[in-house]
Amino acid sequence: MKRILSILILLPFLLNGQDTIITNSDPVQDYISLSNKRDRPIPKKHHLSTTSYLTVESDDLNSSFLNSMLFGGFITDEMKDKWINSGDESNQINAEITNGIRYQYTTYNLNSYYFQFSDVNLINSSFSDDLLKLTFHGNYDYQEETLDFSNTVIRADRYQQYKVGYGYSKWIKTDYLKISTALSYLVGNHHAQLNINKGSLYTSEMGTYLNLNYDINTMMTDSSNLSPFVGNGKGMAVDFALSYTKDYNTFGIHIRDLGYINWNKSSIIANTDSSFNFTGIEVNDFNSLPEFNDSIMDISFSQNTSSFRSFIPARITLSYSKTLEHKYFNSISIFSHSRWQPYQVKGGLNWDLFHRGFKESGYTTSLDVSSNIDLKYINSTIGFSVGGFTDGTKILLTLSDKKGIFTIGTYHLNELFKKDKTSLSAFIQLQTRF
Protein backbone atom coordinates (compact mmCIF):
# COMPACT_ATOMS: atom_id res chain seq x y z
CA MET A 1 0.00 0.00 0.00
CA LYS A 2 2.70 2.36 0.83
CA ARG A 3 4.38 1.50 -2.33
CA ILE A 4 1.26 2.14 -4.19
CA LEU A 5 0.86 5.41 -2.55
CA SER A 6 4.38 6.42 -3.13
CA ILE A 7 4.10 5.66 -6.76
CA LEU A 8 0.72 7.21 -6.84
CA ILE A 9 2.05 10.39 -5.49
CA LEU A 10 5.50 10.69 -6.77
CA LEU A 11 5.77 8.97 -10.09
CA PRO A 12 3.80 11.46 -12.11
CA PHE A 13 5.73 14.13 -10.49
CA LEU A 14 9.00 12.48 -11.31
CA LEU A 15 7.78 11.71 -14.76
CA ASN A 16 8.43 15.30 -15.48
CA GLY A 17 11.33 15.50 -13.15
CA GLN A 18 13.20 18.70 -12.74
CA ASP A 19 11.69 20.06 -15.87
CA THR A 20 8.24 20.09 -14.41
CA ILE A 21 6.65 23.46 -13.87
CA ILE A 22 3.37 22.09 -12.72
CA THR A 23 3.27 18.65 -11.36
CA ASN A 24 0.58 16.82 -13.10
CA SER A 25 0.37 13.81 -10.91
CA ASP A 26 -1.75 11.32 -12.62
CA PRO A 27 -3.45 8.91 -10.26
CA VAL A 28 -4.32 6.72 -13.17
CA GLN A 29 -0.77 6.29 -14.17
CA ASP A 30 0.10 5.62 -10.65
CA TYR A 31 -2.52 2.98 -10.54
CA ILE A 32 -1.54 1.06 -13.56
CA SER A 33 2.00 0.76 -12.49
CA LEU A 34 1.03 -1.78 -9.93
CA SER A 35 2.25 -5.19 -10.78
CA ASN A 36 -0.89 -7.02 -10.02
CA LYS A 37 -4.04 -5.94 -11.55
CA ARG A 38 -5.99 -7.42 -8.81
CA ASP A 39 -4.09 -5.32 -6.34
CA ARG A 40 -5.12 -2.26 -8.06
CA PRO A 41 -7.73 -0.48 -6.09
CA ILE A 42 -10.16 1.65 -8.03
CA PRO A 43 -8.69 5.17 -8.07
CA LYS A 44 -10.73 7.96 -6.58
CA LYS A 45 -12.68 10.03 -9.03
CA HIS A 46 -11.66 13.47 -7.97
CA HIS A 47 -8.17 14.79 -7.57
CA LEU A 48 -7.31 18.33 -6.52
CA SER A 49 -3.79 19.66 -6.20
CA THR A 50 -1.99 22.95 -5.84
CA THR A 51 1.65 23.46 -6.59
CA SER A 52 4.18 26.23 -6.17
CA TYR A 53 7.48 25.94 -7.90
CA LEU A 54 10.55 28.14 -7.84
CA THR A 55 13.82 27.64 -9.57
CA VAL A 56 16.76 29.87 -10.20
CA GLU A 57 19.64 28.35 -12.08
CA SER A 58 22.89 29.71 -13.32
CA ASP A 59 25.79 27.85 -14.71
CA ASP A 60 28.40 30.29 -13.43
CA LEU A 61 26.85 33.05 -11.36
CA ASN A 62 26.30 32.26 -7.74
CA SER A 63 23.72 33.25 -5.20
CA SER A 64 25.53 36.40 -4.25
CA PHE A 65 24.84 37.67 -7.74
CA LEU A 66 21.20 36.85 -7.41
CA ASN A 67 20.99 38.40 -3.99
CA SER A 68 22.56 41.59 -5.22
CA MET A 69 20.34 41.83 -8.25
CA LEU A 70 17.18 41.21 -6.31
CA PHE A 71 17.79 42.73 -2.97
CA GLY A 72 20.20 45.51 -3.76
CA GLY A 73 23.36 46.50 -1.98
CA PHE A 74 26.64 47.82 -3.26
CA ILE A 75 28.53 45.50 -5.55
CA THR A 76 32.21 45.59 -4.75
CA ASP A 77 35.05 44.97 -7.16
CA GLU A 78 35.75 41.68 -5.42
CA MET A 79 32.22 40.52 -6.08
CA LYS A 80 32.46 41.60 -9.70
CA ASP A 81 35.69 39.73 -10.25
CA LYS A 82 34.32 36.66 -8.63
CA TRP A 83 31.30 36.63 -10.89
CA ILE A 84 33.31 37.26 -13.97
CA ASN A 85 35.95 34.70 -13.24
CA SER A 86 33.62 31.92 -12.18
CA GLY A 87 32.91 29.23 -14.71
CA ASP A 88 33.41 29.63 -18.42
CA GLU A 89 32.96 32.72 -20.51
CA SER A 90 29.31 32.11 -21.16
CA ASN A 91 26.71 32.69 -18.48
CA GLN A 92 23.24 31.31 -18.31
CA ILE A 93 20.51 32.32 -15.94
CA ASN A 94 17.13 30.74 -15.87
CA ALA A 95 14.43 31.45 -13.33
CA GLU A 96 10.88 30.19 -13.07
CA ILE A 97 8.16 30.83 -10.57
CA THR A 98 4.94 29.01 -11.16
CA ASN A 99 1.86 28.59 -9.08
CA GLY A 100 -1.00 26.47 -10.13
CA ILE A 101 -4.03 24.48 -9.25
CA ARG A 102 -5.39 21.40 -10.96
CA TYR A 103 -8.54 19.37 -10.84
CA GLN A 104 -8.86 15.92 -12.41
CA TYR A 105 -11.79 13.65 -12.80
CA THR A 106 -11.23 9.99 -13.47
CA THR A 107 -13.86 7.77 -14.92
CA TYR A 108 -14.65 4.19 -14.21
CA ASN A 109 -12.59 2.94 -17.09
CA LEU A 110 -9.71 5.16 -16.13
CA ASN A 111 -10.16 7.85 -18.68
CA SER A 112 -9.58 11.21 -17.17
CA TYR A 113 -10.44 14.83 -17.67
CA TYR A 114 -8.64 17.64 -16.03
CA PHE A 115 -8.52 21.39 -15.77
CA GLN A 116 -5.46 23.28 -14.73
CA PHE A 117 -4.77 26.95 -14.02
CA SER A 118 -1.24 28.22 -13.73
CA ASP A 119 0.41 31.55 -13.18
CA VAL A 120 3.78 31.46 -14.86
CA ASN A 121 6.81 33.75 -14.57
CA LEU A 122 9.88 33.01 -16.65
CA ILE A 123 13.25 34.64 -17.04
CA ASN A 124 15.82 33.19 -19.35
CA SER A 125 19.11 34.89 -20.10
CA SER A 126 22.37 34.13 -21.76
CA PHE A 127 25.30 36.50 -21.91
CA SER A 128 29.04 36.55 -22.00
CA ASP A 129 31.56 37.47 -19.35
CA ASP A 130 32.48 40.43 -21.52
CA LEU A 131 29.05 41.87 -20.95
CA LEU A 132 29.59 41.51 -17.23
CA LYS A 133 32.94 43.22 -17.56
CA LEU A 134 31.43 46.09 -19.49
CA THR A 135 28.41 46.39 -17.24
CA PHE A 136 30.18 46.17 -13.91
CA HIS A 137 33.63 47.50 -14.64
CA GLY A 138 33.14 49.83 -17.55
CA ASN A 139 35.71 49.98 -20.30
CA TYR A 140 38.57 51.78 -18.61
CA ASP A 141 40.32 48.57 -17.61
CA TYR A 142 39.92 47.09 -21.06
CA GLN A 143 41.82 49.54 -23.22
CA GLU A 144 43.19 48.00 -26.38
CA GLU A 145 40.77 45.11 -25.95
CA THR A 146 37.54 44.13 -27.58
CA LEU A 147 34.63 43.29 -25.30
CA ASP A 148 32.39 40.94 -27.19
CA PHE A 149 28.84 40.70 -25.97
CA SER A 150 27.37 39.03 -29.00
CA ASN A 151 24.65 36.43 -28.57
CA THR A 152 23.23 38.09 -25.49
CA VAL A 153 19.68 37.14 -24.80
CA ILE A 154 17.30 38.21 -22.08
CA ARG A 155 13.77 36.92 -22.13
CA ALA A 156 11.10 37.43 -19.54
CA ASP A 157 7.52 36.31 -19.66
CA ARG A 158 4.56 36.41 -17.42
CA TYR A 159 1.30 34.76 -18.36
CA GLN A 160 -1.63 32.68 -17.12
CA GLN A 161 -2.37 29.31 -18.56
CA TYR A 162 -5.79 27.67 -18.65
CA LYS A 163 -5.41 24.03 -19.63
CA VAL A 164 -8.01 21.37 -20.27
CA GLY A 165 -6.93 17.85 -20.92
CA TYR A 166 -8.18 14.40 -21.59
CA GLY A 167 -6.53 11.09 -21.01
CA TYR A 168 -7.55 7.96 -22.72
CA SER A 169 -6.67 4.65 -21.15
CA LYS A 170 -6.79 1.26 -22.66
CA TRP A 171 -5.85 -2.12 -21.49
CA ILE A 172 -4.25 -4.35 -24.01
CA LYS A 173 -4.35 -7.64 -22.25
CA THR A 174 -2.05 -6.92 -19.39
CA ASP A 175 -0.42 -3.99 -21.07
CA TYR A 176 -1.64 -0.53 -20.55
CA LEU A 177 -1.73 2.32 -23.00
CA LYS A 178 -2.41 5.86 -22.07
CA ILE A 179 -2.77 8.71 -24.50
CA SER A 180 -3.24 12.21 -23.19
CA THR A 181 -3.82 15.49 -24.91
CA ALA A 182 -4.46 18.95 -23.60
CA LEU A 183 -5.19 22.32 -24.97
CA SER A 184 -4.16 25.53 -23.22
CA TYR A 185 -5.39 29.05 -23.50
CA LEU A 186 -2.70 31.56 -22.62
CA VAL A 187 -3.26 35.09 -21.38
CA GLY A 188 -0.06 37.02 -21.73
CA ASN A 189 0.68 39.80 -19.26
CA HIS A 190 4.19 40.96 -20.07
CA HIS A 191 6.97 40.02 -22.36
CA ALA A 192 10.36 41.57 -22.64
CA GLN A 193 13.03 40.32 -24.93
CA LEU A 194 16.41 41.64 -25.82
CA ASN A 195 18.62 40.01 -28.42
CA ILE A 196 22.07 41.31 -29.08
CA ASN A 197 22.96 39.23 -32.10
CA LYS A 198 26.17 41.04 -32.61
CA GLY A 199 27.86 43.35 -30.14
CA SER A 200 31.36 44.41 -29.45
CA LEU A 201 33.19 47.39 -28.07
CA TYR A 202 36.82 48.14 -28.67
CA THR A 203 38.47 50.81 -26.57
CA SER A 204 41.71 52.20 -27.85
CA GLU A 205 44.60 53.23 -25.67
CA MET A 206 43.71 56.25 -23.56
CA GLY A 207 40.20 56.12 -24.97
CA THR A 208 41.09 58.03 -28.09
CA TYR A 209 38.43 56.14 -29.95
CA LEU A 210 35.76 53.56 -29.41
CA ASN A 211 34.76 51.00 -31.98
CA LEU A 212 31.23 49.87 -31.39
CA ASN A 213 29.34 47.28 -33.37
CA TYR A 214 25.89 46.17 -32.47
CA ASP A 215 22.84 44.50 -33.81
CA ILE A 216 20.12 44.71 -31.21
CA ASN A 217 16.53 43.66 -31.40
CA THR A 218 14.02 44.18 -28.66
CA MET A 219 10.44 43.17 -28.32
CA MET A 220 8.42 44.40 -25.45
CA THR A 221 4.79 44.60 -24.52
CA ASP A 222 3.15 47.91 -23.75
CA SER A 223 4.71 49.18 -20.55
CA SER A 224 2.12 51.85 -19.84
CA ASN A 225 0.31 49.42 -17.55
CA LEU A 226 2.48 47.26 -15.37
CA SER A 227 -0.36 45.51 -13.59
CA PRO A 228 0.60 41.84 -13.12
CA PHE A 229 -2.64 40.65 -14.67
CA VAL A 230 -2.95 43.06 -17.55
CA GLY A 231 -3.90 41.33 -20.75
CA ASN A 232 -1.37 42.22 -23.43
CA GLY A 233 -1.58 39.05 -25.45
CA LYS A 234 -3.34 35.82 -26.14
CA GLY A 235 -2.07 32.44 -27.17
CA MET A 236 -2.49 28.75 -27.14
CA ALA A 237 -0.50 25.64 -26.40
CA VAL A 238 -0.97 21.92 -26.79
CA ASP A 239 0.13 18.91 -24.84
CA PHE A 240 0.55 15.39 -26.01
CA ALA A 241 1.59 12.35 -24.02
CA LEU A 242 1.87 8.73 -24.78
CA SER A 243 2.83 6.02 -22.34
CA TYR A 244 2.88 2.30 -22.58
CA THR A 245 3.23 -0.04 -19.69
CA LYS A 246 4.19 -3.60 -20.17
CA ASP A 247 4.90 -5.80 -17.25
CA TYR A 248 6.77 -3.50 -14.90
CA ASN A 249 8.17 -1.26 -17.56
CA THR A 250 6.68 1.99 -18.67
CA PHE A 251 7.83 3.90 -21.70
CA GLY A 252 6.62 7.37 -22.34
CA ILE A 253 6.91 10.43 -24.48
CA HIS A 254 5.48 13.71 -23.38
CA ILE A 255 5.33 17.00 -25.20
CA ARG A 256 4.05 19.77 -23.01
CA ASP A 257 3.27 23.48 -23.57
CA LEU A 258 4.05 23.56 -27.22
CA GLY A 259 2.59 26.97 -27.93
CA TYR A 260 2.93 30.70 -28.42
CA ILE A 261 1.46 34.00 -27.39
CA ASN A 262 0.51 36.77 -29.81
CA TRP A 263 1.21 40.09 -28.18
CA ASN A 264 -1.03 43.01 -29.11
CA LYS A 265 -0.41 45.89 -31.49
CA SER A 266 0.73 48.33 -28.87
CA SER A 267 3.79 46.23 -28.30
CA ILE A 268 7.07 47.85 -29.10
CA ILE A 269 9.49 46.32 -31.51
CA ALA A 270 12.77 48.11 -31.86
CA ASN A 271 15.96 47.30 -33.56
CA THR A 272 19.19 48.95 -34.29
CA ASP A 273 22.10 47.74 -36.29
CA SER A 274 25.15 49.80 -36.68
CA SER A 275 28.84 49.90 -36.58
CA PHE A 276 30.71 53.06 -35.87
CA ASN A 277 33.96 54.40 -34.75
CA PHE A 278 33.55 57.17 -32.22
CA THR A 279 36.39 59.60 -31.81
CA GLY A 280 34.54 62.42 -30.11
CA ILE A 281 33.45 65.67 -31.60
CA GLU A 282 35.68 66.96 -34.34
CA VAL A 283 36.95 70.38 -33.53
CA ASN A 284 37.90 72.53 -36.49
CA ASP A 285 37.91 75.92 -34.87
CA PHE A 286 39.58 76.29 -31.51
CA ASN A 287 38.14 79.75 -31.21
CA SER A 288 34.71 78.26 -30.89
CA LEU A 289 34.80 75.02 -28.99
CA PRO A 290 31.61 72.98 -28.81
CA GLU A 291 29.71 72.36 -25.61
CA PHE A 292 31.69 70.11 -23.35
CA ASN A 293 28.75 67.92 -22.58
CA ASP A 294 27.42 67.68 -26.06
CA SER A 295 25.84 64.44 -26.90
CA ILE A 296 28.51 61.93 -27.43
CA MET A 297 26.70 59.07 -28.89
CA ASP A 298 23.58 58.88 -30.82
CA ILE A 299 22.29 55.39 -31.05
CA SER A 300 19.10 55.55 -32.93
CA PHE A 301 16.53 52.86 -32.64
CA SER A 302 14.17 52.05 -35.37
CA GLN A 303 11.05 51.60 -33.35
CA ASN A 304 7.52 50.80 -34.20
CA THR A 305 4.50 49.46 -32.41
CA SER A 306 3.25 46.25 -33.74
CA SER A 307 2.05 42.86 -32.66
CA PHE A 308 4.56 40.05 -32.42
CA ARG A 309 4.62 36.42 -31.44
CA SER A 310 6.73 34.76 -28.79
CA PHE A 311 6.96 31.11 -27.85
CA ILE A 312 6.60 29.67 -24.41
CA PRO A 313 9.13 26.97 -23.55
CA ALA A 314 7.89 23.65 -24.85
CA ARG A 315 9.12 20.64 -22.86
CA ILE A 316 9.80 17.33 -24.48
CA THR A 317 10.38 14.33 -22.27
CA LEU A 318 11.28 10.76 -23.06
CA SER A 319 10.92 8.45 -20.10
CA TYR A 320 11.43 4.96 -18.90
CA SER A 321 10.34 3.61 -15.54
CA LYS A 322 10.63 0.25 -14.02
CA THR A 323 8.93 -0.99 -10.91
CA LEU A 324 11.35 -2.72 -8.60
CA GLU A 325 10.83 -5.47 -6.19
CA HIS A 326 12.93 -4.04 -3.42
CA LYS A 327 12.40 -3.38 0.19
CA TYR A 328 13.14 0.32 -0.09
CA PHE A 329 13.49 1.21 -3.73
CA ASN A 330 10.16 0.97 -5.38
CA SER A 331 11.11 2.07 -8.82
CA ILE A 332 13.75 3.56 -10.97
CA SER A 333 13.12 6.13 -13.64
CA ILE A 334 15.17 7.58 -16.41
CA PHE A 335 14.15 10.80 -18.14
CA SER A 336 15.51 12.75 -20.99
CA HIS A 337 14.27 16.33 -21.08
CA SER A 338 14.59 18.86 -23.86
CA ARG A 339 13.17 22.29 -24.44
CA TRP A 340 12.11 24.10 -27.50
CA GLN A 341 11.76 27.90 -27.50
CA PRO A 342 12.96 29.92 -30.49
CA TYR A 343 13.43 33.68 -30.14
CA GLN A 344 11.05 34.53 -32.90
CA VAL A 345 9.56 33.26 -36.08
CA LYS A 346 11.64 34.01 -39.13
CA GLY A 347 10.33 32.90 -42.43
CA GLY A 348 7.48 30.68 -41.29
CA LEU A 349 7.34 27.12 -40.03
CA ASN A 350 10.30 25.28 -41.41
CA TRP A 351 13.21 23.10 -40.46
CA ASP A 352 15.23 26.17 -39.47
CA LEU A 353 12.62 27.12 -36.90
CA PHE A 354 12.57 23.60 -35.54
CA HIS A 355 16.31 23.47 -35.25
CA ARG A 356 16.63 26.97 -33.83
CA GLY A 357 14.08 26.30 -31.15
CA PHE A 358 16.27 23.77 -29.42
CA LYS A 359 19.38 25.88 -29.72
CA GLU A 360 17.75 29.11 -28.70
CA SER A 361 16.03 27.65 -25.68
CA GLY A 362 19.41 27.69 -23.97
CA TYR A 363 18.62 24.30 -22.52
CA THR A 364 20.98 21.36 -22.95
CA THR A 365 19.13 18.02 -23.11
CA SER A 366 19.25 16.68 -19.61
CA LEU A 367 19.35 13.17 -18.30
CA ASP A 368 17.61 12.45 -15.01
CA VAL A 369 17.85 9.24 -13.05
CA SER A 370 15.78 8.85 -9.93
CA SER A 371 14.32 6.30 -7.63
CA ASN A 372 11.41 6.23 -5.27
CA ILE A 373 12.16 5.19 -1.69
CA ASP A 374 9.52 3.91 0.64
CA LEU A 375 10.53 4.90 4.15
CA LYS A 376 8.75 4.25 7.35
CA TYR A 377 7.07 7.57 7.86
CA ILE A 378 7.65 9.33 4.58
CA ASN A 379 8.09 8.62 0.97
CA SER A 380 11.03 10.03 -0.85
CA THR A 381 12.46 10.33 -4.27
CA ILE A 382 16.09 10.81 -4.83
CA GLY A 383 18.03 11.15 -8.03
CA PHE A 384 20.53 13.08 -10.05
CA SER A 385 20.36 15.15 -13.19
CA VAL A 386 22.91 16.22 -15.71
CA GLY A 387 22.35 18.93 -18.28
CA GLY A 388 19.66 21.55 -18.52
CA PHE A 389 20.64 25.16 -17.94
CA THR A 390 23.68 24.34 -15.86
CA ASP A 391 26.77 22.30 -16.44
CA GLY A 392 27.11 20.39 -13.21
CA THR A 393 25.32 17.41 -11.77
CA LYS A 394 22.32 18.11 -9.65
CA ILE A 395 20.78 16.01 -6.94
CA LEU A 396 17.09 16.00 -6.54
CA LEU A 397 15.11 15.10 -3.47
CA THR A 398 11.45 15.07 -2.68
CA LEU A 399 9.72 14.20 0.55
CA SER A 400 6.10 13.56 1.08
CA ASP A 401 3.85 12.15 3.71
CA LYS A 402 2.59 8.66 3.36
CA LYS A 403 -0.75 9.77 2.03
CA GLY A 404 0.82 12.05 -0.43
CA ILE A 405 -1.01 15.07 0.73
CA PHE A 406 1.98 17.30 1.21
CA THR A 407 5.10 17.14 -0.87
CA ILE A 408 8.17 19.27 -0.74
CA GLY A 409 11.35 18.98 -2.70
CA THR A 410 14.26 20.48 -4.51
CA TYR A 411 16.18 19.72 -7.69
CA HIS A 412 19.38 21.22 -6.34
CA LEU A 413 19.99 19.44 -3.08
CA ASN A 414 23.74 19.61 -3.64
CA GLU A 415 23.56 23.43 -3.82
CA LEU A 416 22.06 23.67 -0.36
CA PHE A 417 25.34 22.67 1.14
CA LYS A 418 27.40 25.17 -0.79
CA LYS A 419 28.29 28.54 0.45
CA ASP A 420 28.25 30.07 -3.04
CA LYS A 421 25.21 28.59 -4.58
CA THR A 422 24.69 28.84 -8.30
CA SER A 423 21.25 27.32 -8.35
CA LEU A 424 18.25 27.08 -6.16
CA SER A 425 14.93 25.36 -6.54
CA ALA A 426 12.03 24.36 -4.39
CA PHE A 427 8.54 23.16 -4.85
CA ILE A 428 5.58 22.47 -2.67
CA GLN A 429 2.54 20.53 -3.56
CA LEU A 430 -0.68 19.93 -1.72
CA GLN A 431 -3.17 17.48 -3.06
CA THR A 432 -6.21 15.59 -2.08
CA ARG A 433 -8.36 12.88 -3.57
CA PHE A 434 -11.95 12.28 -2.99
Partner 1 sequence: MKKTVYITLLSIFIFSCKHDLEKPTWEVDIITPIAHSELSISDLINQNETIVDQQIGSDSLVSLVYSADLLQTNYDNLLDIQSTTNEKMFRIDSVKFDDVVIEHNITIGSIITELGVLGPILYPDGQDRDIPAMPGVVQNDTIDIDASEYFETMTLYNGKMNLEITNGFPTDISNMSFMLYNSISLNLIATFNIPLIESGATYTESVSVAGETLDQIMLGIINNMDIEASGGLVPINYTDAISTTVSITEIQIMEATAYFPNQLLHEEIVEQSFNLGTTKLTEIGIKEGYISIIATSSLPDTISILYFIPSLTKYGVPFEELVKIPPNINTTPTSLYFNCDGYIMDLKGQVGRIGGDTVNTIYSEMHIYLDSTGELETINRVDSFNLYNEFNIVPEYAKWYIGQDTLLLSPETKNTSIFESITNGTIDLKEANLNLSIQNYVGADASISFQQFSSDNTNDNHPPTSVTTDQNGANIIGNPYFIERATLNNENIIIPTLININLDASDMLEILPNQTTVAATFMLNPNGEQAVEDFLYIDYPISATLDASIPLSFIANNLTISKTIEIDLSSDTELEIDELYISIENGIPLSAKVDVILLDQHNNTLDTLVRNTNIICANTDTENRVTTASNNLITITNTEFNNVRNMKIVASFTTSSITEHIDIYSYYTMKVNLSARFKQIIGE
Q: Which parts of this chain interact with partner 1 (CB under 8 A)?
A: 52, 68-75, 80, 135-141, 143, 203, 206-210, 278-287, 289-293, 296, 401, 405-406, 428, 430
Nearest to 103 by CA among 179, 24, 32: 24
Q: How far is the CB of 203 from partner 1 (least distance, A)?
A: 6
- Closer Cβ to partner 1, 192 or 210, answer by number: 210
Q: How far is the CB of 95 from partner 1 (least distance, A)?
A: 13
- Closer Cβ to partner 1, 210 or 236, answer by number: 210
- Closer Cβ to partner 1, 85 or 279, answer by number: 279
**Helix segments in 286-371, DSSP class H:** 351-360
Q: How far is the CB of 182 from partner 1 (least distance, A)?
A: 27
Q: How far is the CB of 429 from partner 1 (least distance, A)?
A: 10
Q: How far is the CB of 14 from partner 1 (least distance, A)?
A: 21
Axis crossing angle, helix 63-71 with helix 77-85, rounded to the nearest 10: 130
- Closer Cβ to partner 1, 131 or 261, answer by number: 131
- Closer Cβ to partner 1, 71 or 417, answer by number: 71
Q: How far is the CB of 85 from partner 1 (least distance, A)?
A: 16
- Closer Cβ to partner 1, 278 or 320, answer by number: 278
Nearest to 149 by CA among 170, 126, 169: 126
Exposure string of 376-402, with b = 16+ CB inside 10 Å and e = fewer, is: eeebbbbbebebbbbeeebbbbbbbeb
Output the CA–CA distances (angstroms, integers) from residue 143 to 74, 77, 90, 206, 317, in the order listed. 25, 18, 22, 7, 47
Under DSSP, the state recorded for 264 is -
Q: How far is the CB of 9 from partner 1 (least distance, A)?
A: 14
Nearest to 335 by CA among 358, 361, 357, 367: 367
Output the CA–CA distances (angstroms, integers) from residue 40 to 30, 31, 204, 434, in the order listed. 10, 6, 74, 17
d(CA 325, CA 407): 24
First to last CA, the chain: 17
Q: How far is the CB of 405 from partner 1 (least distance, A)?
A: 6
- Closer Cβ to partner 1, 297 or 349, answer by number: 297
Nearest to 99 by CA among 115, 114, 120, 116: 120
- Closer Cβ to partner 1, 285 or 298, answer by number: 285
